[in-house]
């Protein structure tokens, strides 16, 4: 897949995996509410099997998001973050614009994501609550990474 670059102002979004600072991504995710204690090898595997978007400023990588997709009908947006030191500069919005305009993600029938606290950001990209929430099902193991850390 060709590297996609999206620039605005002093920030750049790129899908070049070789530019990702895995330490930054893992460092943030391991303390996030959705992936607390996630092992580095799991982060590396998730990156290897996703379309990843790194956000970069003058100081290096300042944000990240990844998309899991079949590139035909469906995409799931995951692990979106902007480092606290870089917040307030529109980087989250820039990440979403880059994702939604990526050439390989056009014409999809359905997009989804989960968020606890960024509904306003995603609404700006057209996301809403599910029209038919009763149709959605999940199999969830939210404490899987904590269990792996405390296992004998």
- CATH, residue 40: 3.40.630.30
Other CB atoms closer than 10 Å to residue 77's CB: what's the count? 26
Indicate whether 50 pLDDT > 80: yes
Between 5 and 152, name the one with better pLDDT: 5
Contact between residue 98 and residue 13 where contact means Cβ atoms under 8 Å apart: yes
Indicate whether 152 pLDDT > 60: no
**What's the pTM?**
0.92
pLDDT value of position 146: 80
Indicate whether 56 pLDDT > 60: yes
pLDDT value of position 45: 98
pLDDT value of position 149: 58
Structurally, how many domains does the chain consist of?
Answer: 1
Other CB atoms closer than 10 Å to residue 136's CB: what's the count? 8
Q: pLDDT tens digits for 11-46?
A: 999 999 999 999 999 999 999 999 999 999 999 999
100 pLDDT tier (thresholds 50, 70, 90): very high
Containing domain of residue 124, as a range?
5-150
């Amino acid at each position: 897949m060709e590297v996609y670059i999206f620039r605005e102002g002093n920030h750049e979004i790129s899908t070049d995996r070789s530019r990702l600072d895995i330490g930054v991504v893992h460092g943030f995710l391991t303390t996030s509410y959705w992936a607390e204690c996630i092992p580095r090898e799991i982060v590396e595997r998730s990156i290897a099997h996703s379309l990843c978007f790194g956000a970069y400023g003058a100081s290096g990588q300042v944000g990240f998001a990844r998309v899991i997709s079949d590139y035909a009908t469906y995409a799931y947006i995951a692990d979106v973050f902007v480092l606290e030191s870089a917040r307030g500069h529109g980087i989250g919005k820039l990440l979403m614009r880059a994702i939604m305009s990526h050439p390989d993600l056009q014409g999809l029938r359905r997009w989804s994501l989960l968020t606890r606290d960024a509904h306003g950001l995603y609404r700006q990209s057209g996301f809403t609550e599910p029209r038919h929430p009763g149709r959605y099902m999940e199999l969830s193991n939210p404490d899987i990474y904590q269990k792996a850390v405390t296992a004998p």
